[in-house]
A and B are shown apart, each in its own frame.
Chain A
Amino acid sequence: MILKQDKVKPQKDKTKEHGGMLGTALWILEKAFDRIELDEGLRAIIRQSERELIVSVPINRDDGSVSVFTGYRVQHSSARGPCKGGIRYHPGVELDEVRAMALLMSLKCAVAKLPFGGAKGGISVNPSELSQNELERLTRRYAAMIMPIIGGKRDISAPDVNTNPQTMAWFMDTISTLQQRMVPEIVTGKPLSLGGSQGRFEATGRGVAIAVVESLNRMGLDSVGATVAVQGYGKVGRHAAAILLNEFGSNVVAVSDVSGGLYATQGLDLELINDFLDNEPNSLFDDIKSNERFERVSNEELLTLDVDVLIPAAIENQITERNANDVQARLIVEGANGPTSYSADEILDDRGIIVVPDILANVGGVICSYYEWVQDLQSFFWDLDEVRKNLSKTMQIAFNEVWSFAEEQKVDLRAAAYMLAIKRIAEAIQYRGLFP
């Protein structure tokens, strides 16, 4: 390796310099660095974002006044490929938060073996205070301001909090207009009519379901008949539950939403539940009439049911030191981001409960995003079956490599996923060497 430890100045402990999410992200990084005994030079490179751009985004308001917002684009690493990451509009957006998210995107893409590095961007704005025309002007100006560092082979954006396919369409149109050619590959998450991908509606949920099946295989268990509880019946949980039941023969015994859960030891009739939810807009599980075929459980109770598989797919920090000892599932697959606290993770590990971490379990959405980029570059679009087939393959490979690495290193899956991601990034940096 061309980087030698003695040539590198001793690094300050960055995790102590930064609080909040960046501190947490760097703490995760340092733990994985130590575990793989990574060269100090490589650590120094990976700790730091590759490029950070802060832009001023002035717009004309509808009332004739001018407002100026601050925008960011952080590219953490392009060692493995073009940077990839979403754009968020939120008043809380600030540089450290964007840095943390860009770093986590690098790790997520590397875990899934996607040929991408990580990036993230955003504008510190409350988008709900703006009209649609103002939002369009904001997006176009931001796109133009960060244009010098982005590109279909350099840095690809995507939706995140408070941005959507419409935002991506404006973004793509702005860059296409300025470059005088159509560049759909500059963003993913576009409307289908502008080069979006089939299958995105279920991609994250399907990825979660595949992670469940692959885990059970590795544990010597059959997915057919395996009992499953799903906390959170939104986009991720609902699809994961349906795919596990209909395609893998699992027995979904409990599901919940914000109002509480339904539980039936013999298995829930998901079709009936979905029909009810589809036909009764805004209805919650609480509105479903009680009958003898299920009993009601609270969200907290659902987490501690006697099941084979638990899928927390609602919000962060649901399994904590308070309830980790009561969890009875043999396998937890994190559909949501960060549903398990660090202290709970240790308790679960001590108890032999396997946790498939969010960075691996819910990567299906990012994989589908990658497919959109591939299709846009080729101008050749796949049907739903093709997307599903490829998603299964990519997820299976990613999962099994993390599992094997965990066994080899004798660590849990979360540690293995981070270690493997960093190893892959480090390897790319090593092979490429340092210019000049």
Chain B
Amino acid sequence: MVSTTDTKKKESKIQGIKVSHVEDVTKQLLEDSINTALEKVSRYNRNKSLEDLFQDHDFFEQFNYILSTKIAELFAQNDERIQAVYQFGESMNPGSESGEYLPIDPCVHLLCLVEKSSAGLKAYIDGLDRALTKEMVDLPASCYAKLSSVLDIIIITKEDVQKRKGYASLLKSLHAPPLCVWRRD
């Protein structure tokens, strides 16, 4: 979890965010996500290099979740119309009973529940995606090496959820429920 001090530190950065600052924010975001994920690795993985850890499903999922949470916080502070952000996985499927690990999916899949969709938010997401992708290509993980875009953000409204339209239907899904990573109280 992000500490209060960390959050305050980040807030001061985020409130004044400009395109030129996005790179600094993403650098910090990645560093924090890796460090938090490293704290959570199992005792068998403590001595592994970051390169090896990025090939481990459990480490990867932790990292991806922490990154998703931090991205969601950024979005929410940038746009007050965001009500909640959910992490969803392409991997949730009817074959789960047989227990097959799926190939590591480096993408950050988020459902962004907004009061109303705006061009500003979309532009912000695009900017953040570009900066984040640029940073992540340099991570010691083969899955990021040829990455062209890391963020897969789907903007949905309350109406979409009520009508169970497209990916908004996942919010009421029994089989593939997404994880809420941020919610406006």
Q: Which of A164, A189, A236, A287 contacts B148 (CB 8 A)?
A: A287
Residue in chain A with minimal CB distance to B90: A234
Residue in chain B with minimal CB distance to A129: B1
- Decide yes or no: A235 and B91 within 8 Å by CB, A281-B143, A315-B167 being known contacts: yes
Most chain A CB atoms below 10 A, which of B95, B106, B147, B149: B95
**Chain A window 112-135, contacts with chain B (Cβ cutoff 8 Å), 1 for yes, 0 for no:** 000000000000001011111100
Taking CB atoms, residues of chain A closer than 8 Å to B175 are: 161, 316, 337-338
Bound complex: CA A92 to CA B173 (Å): 11
Does chain A have a CB within 8 A of B45?
yes
A253-299 residues with Cβ-Cβ distance < 8 A to B are: 258, 280-283, 287, 299
Taking CB atoms, residues of chain A closer than 8 Å to B96 are: 86, 158-161, 189, 365
Most chain B CB atoms below 10 A, which of A100, A190, A369: A369
- Please tell me if the beta carbons of A282 and B148 are within 8 angstroms of each other in the complex: yes
Does chain B have a CB within 8 A of A58?
no
Interface size class of A (residues with CB under 8 A): 35 or more
- Please tell me if the beta carbons of B179 and A91 are within 8 angstroms of each other in the complex: yes
- Decide yes or no: A234 and B93 within 8 Å by CB, A165-B101, A189-B99, A190-B99 being known contacts: yes
Taking CB atoms, residues of chain B closer than 8 Å to A129 are: 1
- Please tell me if the beta carbons of B42 and A160 are within 8 angstroms of each other in the complex: no
**Chain B window 51-75, contacts with chain A (Cβ cutoff 8 Å), 1 for yes, 0 for no:** 0000001110110011000000000
Does chain A have a CB within 8 A of B150?
yes
- Please tell me if the beta carbons of B174 and A236 are within 8 angstroms of each other in the complex: no
Taking CB atoms, residues of chain A closer than 8 Å to B1 are: 129
Does chain B have a CB within 8 A of A184?
no
Most chain B CB atoms below 10 A, which of A101, A132, A336: A132
**Chain A window 165-181, contacts with chain B (Cβ cutoff 8 Å), 1 for yes, 0 for no:** 11010000000000000
- Which of the 9-residue segments A65-73, A194-202, A216-224, A244-252 touches chain B? A194-202
Taking CB atoms, residues of chain A closer than 8 Å to B91 are: 234-235
Taking CB atoms, residues of chain B closer than 8 Å to A92 are: 177
Q: Which of B62, B97, B148, B173 contacts A188 (CB 8 A)?
A: B97
Most chain A CB atoms below 10 A, which of B42, B97, B143, B179: B97
Does chain B have a CB within 8 A of A82?
no
Does chain A have a CB within 8 A of B157?
no
Residue in chain B with minimal CB distance to A197: B98
Does chain A have a CB within 8 A of B83?
no
Most chain A CB atoms below 10 A, which of B43, B99, B148: B99
User: Can you list 8 contacts pairing A with B, beta carbon distance less than 8 Å?
Assistant: A90-B177, A128-B62, A162-B179, A166-B57, A189-B96, A234-B93, A234-B102, A258-B109
Task: Given contact pairs A131-B62, A165-B101, A362-B94, enumerate 4 new A-B contacts (beta carbons under 8 Å).
Answer: A165-B99, A203-B95, A258-B152, A282-B107
